Structure 1
């Protein structure tokens, strides 16, 4: 197993660690920031999410730079991303920060596009990530991190940055999903 694939597998193993720090009431105490009580375990969980998200860029960069792209990596890298994002969204629902319907739309889009890619791959076609999909990914990560960080520092000024970021993420989620299906409708409509 090459280094990019090890990084991808490491990202998958970080998911349950992230979940423990976010969901288990650990006795690490909390920090008061303005009127916000920020559990230290959640700070650690947010750091783990950010670190895991950054490894997605690192493994892709290394795989392309050193010509280490493998079928394992092509399959596991996007799966690791979807598992990480799904775990974070479910945690944010549990915490009462993200409405369930928004998480359902985001997760459904991820599975629908993955299905489209699998159908295309069966015909030997690779569907590259569009610019809209890249914006979707960035806005998704920004929104999730903003919520994991309790909307700090924006919460100190009563500015709902995390909520705005979530709505922007939802917009790009829907638009990029629509774009994939419109541009690749022949993949879905093919009768092979």
Structure 2
């Protein structure tokens, strides 16, 4: 297994650590940061989440720079992204920090595209991430981070950046999902 794939797998292993910090009340209290009152456990969860999300960029950069792109990586990378995002949005929804309707739309698209990829792989085809899929992932990561950090950079200015990013993530998620299905409709219409 090459280094980019190991980095991707490390992202998967960080998900339970993220969930522990997010969901377990350790009684650590909270602190005020740039106008936002942030529970220490949410801050710790955000740090782990951001580190895990950053490995998405790192594994891709490393794979492209050293020509280590593999079919395993093309499969694992989007899967790791989906697992991380699913954990974040389900956890945040359960804590009433993220709207359920947005989580359902985002996760429905994620499962639908995963299904499309599975059907394609059955006929030996790998559907790589598109540019819209990459922007969708970035918007989801920024939205989850803004919610986890209680809108820290924008709270004093009264800008609902976290809400803006939730809507941006939903729009890009739906658009990229439609884009995948339009560009790969042959996968579903093929008689193989």
Which residue pairs with 2:122 in the alignment?
Answer: 122
User: Greater shift after overlay, 65-74 or 179-188?
Assistant: 65-74
Which residue pairs with 2:113 in the alignment?
Answer: 113
In 2 relative to 1, CA 74–135 (structure 1 residues): closer, same or farther, beyond 3 Å? closer
User: Greater shift after overlay, 20-29 or 80-89?
Assistant: 20-29
Residues 93 and 100, structure 2, Cα contact 8 Å, conserved in 1: yes
What is the TM-score normalised by the length of structure 1? 0.92
Which residue pairs with 1:62 in the alignment?
Answer: 62
Higher RCO by CA contacts (8 Å cutoff, separation 6 or greater)? 2
Unpaired runs of 5+ in structure 1? none
**C-alpha RMSD of matched pairs (Å):** 1.7
Q: How far apart in 1 are the matches of 2:121 and 2:52? A: 27
Which residue pairs with 2:80 in the alignment?
Answer: 80
Please list every run of at least 4 consecutive aligned residues from structure 1 whose deviation after the TM superposition is greater than 6 angstroms. Answer: none
Q: Aligned-pair distance for 1:83? A: 0.7
Say how many residue pairs are matched.
Answer: 192
Question: 1:58-103 deviations in whole A, cap 9, x for unaligned?
Answer: 1122122223333432332221111100000012102212111211
Which residue pairs with 2:156 in the alignment?
Answer: 156
The question of 1:39 aligning with 2:58 is answered no
Q: Aligned-pair distance for 1:191? A: 1.7
Which residue pairs with 2:132 in the alignment?
Answer: 132
Residues 35 and 152, structure 2, Cα contact 8 Å, conserved in 1: no
User: Greater shift after overlay, 149-158 or 161-170?
Assistant: 149-158
Q: How far apart in 2 are the matches of 1:126 and 1:8? A: 17
